[in-house]
Amino acid sequence: MSMNTAQADARIQPQADCLLCPVQSCFARGPRAETTAWSAILAPRLSVIPGAPPLFAVGDKLDSLYTVRAGCIKTYTVDSSGGEHIRGFHLPGDLIGLDALDYGRCRSSAVAVVPSQVCVAPLSAVRKLLSAQPSLAQRLTERTSRELALALALCGGFSAEQRLAAFLIHMERRLYSGNSLLRLPMPQRDIGNYLRLATETVCRTLKQFVSRGWVQQDHFGLRLDGYKAIAALAEPIVGPLTAPSFALAA
Amino acid sequence: MSMNTAQADARIQPQADCLLCPVQSCFARGPRAETTAWSAILAPRLSVIPGAPPLFAVGDKLDSLYTVRAGCIKTYTVDSSGGEHIRGFHLPGDLIGLDALDYGRCRSSAVAVVPSQVCVAPLSAVRKLLSAQPSLAQRLTERTSRELALALALCGGFSAEQRLAAFLIHMERRLYSGNSLLRLPMPQRDIGNYLRLATETVCRTLKQFVSRGWVQQDHFGLRLDGYKAIAALAEPIVGPLTAPSFALAA
DNA sequence: CGTCACTTTGAGGCTAGTCAACGGCGGTGG
DNA sequence: CCACCGCCGTTGACTAGCCTCAAAGTGACG
């Protein structure tokens, strides 16, 4: 490990880091001892911008777990004919790399959708920490379990309307910004790729939602006026957790 | 807990159980200490037959992890219009319930496809054991990770041919019986439901494979003569692990 | 002010779903 | 022993949802 400026900076306040971090839903959040311990193993944060080389690529040895601190990271695979298949969008607080833990090599590549920051937890240190803190290990399993449940739900053979509805609901929950404005960081092409829909289908379906008065669309983003109607469509996918973010205090 | 005959039987040789078990790919398999410790927490085995009440149902409190010892268990959800959505087929060695670990309640129901046996690990004991044996906790995370990777892969918008090919390849690997005969325990209706294909489409696609000489079909099951061709179709889903079971010794 | 990426709109085609009907097989009961 | 029934698998004809292809409109940025 070389000692460049970025590393030095990152290590000046190693334990204060996660405790001061504004990302509430981060995996690092937990009992204070766990959070500080997690902080202590972090390598310097990385900044990633769209167009930059991938954070990691398919087949790379998995040597770190990543958490998103800001922005949006997408993971994807490339099939034999060059087509890109987006496997997930990772927003602040999300872990990246959970689907590679058993294989030891990355099952996807990762790039930034918008300028982003990711925290890097070296895997060897993570494993040591998990041995010392069983409750942290349990939380990691639970995170993986949650991802699994979501992936299984998205697998279903659902209509374009249902898929897009589920996507909007899911994003609204995770991007909740204090108002009902939903600013999606990724282009419709990526949404379509992720949902296995053509870009045109995403656009048309969204327009349908607008024409039904469920969604308002302007330069700044989306407004989900018909949250309940959209959630009803999405219910088979996201489950019966149909309350909007601003009502999820409990 | 009442002390019926079955329980008494199961507890007579608690530690010998997993070590003597013929299921090689079981989660309980590992370093000897882990296997015996896992054995020690097991509740009596359950036998489940098709048509019997579910092993567990959506919304039940998750109080145990289950491993399949024999047969085939399917997990499924039921949407608001009564339609069944199969989420997974669990074969000997598989864990059931991994997608519920974070939620604490079952996200699916589970019934037997054929007469089956499942081992029951009470969750409270599992958690204690995981705290004491971090390497076991790591293996649990890895299992969950593997399931996640599979689910993400199956999510893709693939053609009927690709889906069925991936299903056959996946099943061949897990049901490997020493010969190249593949005896699927579930009816085509269930396969179609799982793959989000109509039963008729499963049948027609299978016939296509037969007509191409890739598959032989008789009363006893399937024979994958064109394993390589099928695996090539399935490659975007199952990944580049294209060797048949009987060549997977390494 | 031009370029480029993204979005939007339209027309036509294909995959897979739906509906309907038949054949085979196993179980059940007369 | 055979007739009946139900489930599963199979086949064909038709339909629908979504994809593909093509082209024009829109906003961001140099």
The pLDDT tens digits of the residues spanning B214-235 come to: 999 988 899 999 999 999 999 8
Averaged pLDDT, B63-88: 92
CB contact under 8 A, A148 and B98: yes
CB contact under 8 A, B134 and A130: yes
For residue A220, pLDDT over 70 is answered with yes
Give residue A171's pLDDT band: very low, low, confident or very high (50, 70, 90).
Answer: very high
For residue A108, pLDDT over 50 is answered with yes
Residue B237 pLDDT: 87
Residue with tokens 């282009």: A187
User: Of the candidates A98, A131, A134, which has its C-beta nearest B148's C-beta?
Assistant: A98
Distance A188 CA to D7 C1' (A): 45
**Distance, CA of A34 to CA of A220 (rounded, Å):** 38
For residue A1, pLDDT over 70 is answered with no
**Distance, CA of B144 to CA of A18 (rounded, Å):** 26
Residue at minimal CA–C1' distance from C10?
Answer: A200
Residue A16 pLDDT: 53
**Alpha carbon of B172: minimum distance to chain A alpha carbons (Å):** 20
Q: At what angle do helices B32-41 and B134-155 cross, to 10 degrees?
A: 80
Average pLDDT, chain A: 88
A114 membership: H or E segment, kind and range: strand A109-122
CB contact under 8 A, A137 and B134: yes
Averaged pLDDT, B181-200: 95
Give residue A248's pLDDT band: very low, low, confident or very high (50, 70, 90).
Answer: very low
Q: Where are the beta strands (DSSP E) in chain B?
A: 43-48, 64-78, 84-90, 95-96, 109-122, 181-182, 215-218, 221-224
Residue A245 pLDDT: 44
Which residues of chain B lie closer than 8 angstroms to A152, CB-CB?
Answer: 87-88, 99, 107, 151
Residue A244 pLDDT: 45
Residue B7 pLDDT: 41
A121 membership: H or E segment, kind and range: strand A109-122
**Tell me: the pLDDT tens digits for A64-99?**
999 999 999 999 999 888 889 999 999 999 999 999
**Alpha carbon of B192: minimum distance to chain A alpha carbons (Å):** 11
Q: Among residues of chain A, what percentage have pLDDT more than 90? A: 75
Which amino acid is present at B122? P
Residue A240 pLDDT: 64
Question: Protein footprint on strand C: which nucleotides are under 7 Å from a CB?
Answer: 5-11, 15-20
Give residue B159's pLDDT band: very low, low, confident or very high (50, 70, 90).
Answer: very high
User: Of the candidates A101, A131, A236, which has its C-beta nearest B80's C-beta?
Assistant: A236
**Nearest residue to B225 (alpha-carbon basis) of B235, B216, B212:** B216
Q: B52 versus A2: which is more confidently predicted?
A: B52
Q: Among residues of chain B, what percentage have pLDDT more than 70? A: 88
Residue A14 pLDDT: 42
Residue B240 pLDDT: 63
Distance (Å) of CA B33 to CA A208, A230, B132, B146 = 59, 51, 11, 23
**Alpha carbon of A151: minimum distance to chain B alpha carbons (Å):** 6
Rounded to a whole number of angstroms, the CA Rg of chain A reads 19
**Nearest residue to A214 (alpha-carbon basis) of A241, A194, A244, A239:** A244
Read off φ and ψ for residue B50, nearest 5 degrees.
-60, 140
Averaged pLDDT, B186-212: 97
Residue B163 pLDDT: 96
Residue A83 pLDDT: 87
CB contact under 8 A, B127 and A107: no
Which residues of chain B lie closer than 8 angstroms to A196, CB-CB?
Answer: 155-157
When mean pLDDT is compared across A123-127, B14-18, B212-216, B224-228, the lowest value belongs to B14-18
**Distance, CA of A26 to CA of A93 (rounded, Å):** 4
Distance B51 CA to C30 C1' (A): 28
- Which nucleotide C1' is nearest A186 CA? C6
Q: Among residues of chain B, what percentage have pLDDT more than 90? A: 75
User: Of the candidates B134, B149, B155, which has its C-beta nearest A131's C-beta?
Assistant: B134
Averaged pLDDT, B58-79: 94
Give residue B175's pLDDT band: very low, low, confident or very high (50, 70, 90).
Answer: confident
Mark out chain B residues that contact chain A at CB-CB < 8 A.
77, 79-80, 85, 87-88, 98-103, 107, 127, 130-131, 134-135, 137-138, 140-149, 151-152, 154-157, 196-197, 235-236, 239
Compute the half-sphere exposure of residue A164: CA atoms within 13 Å on the CB side of its CA.
Answer: 27
Distance A234 CA to C8 C1' (A): 25
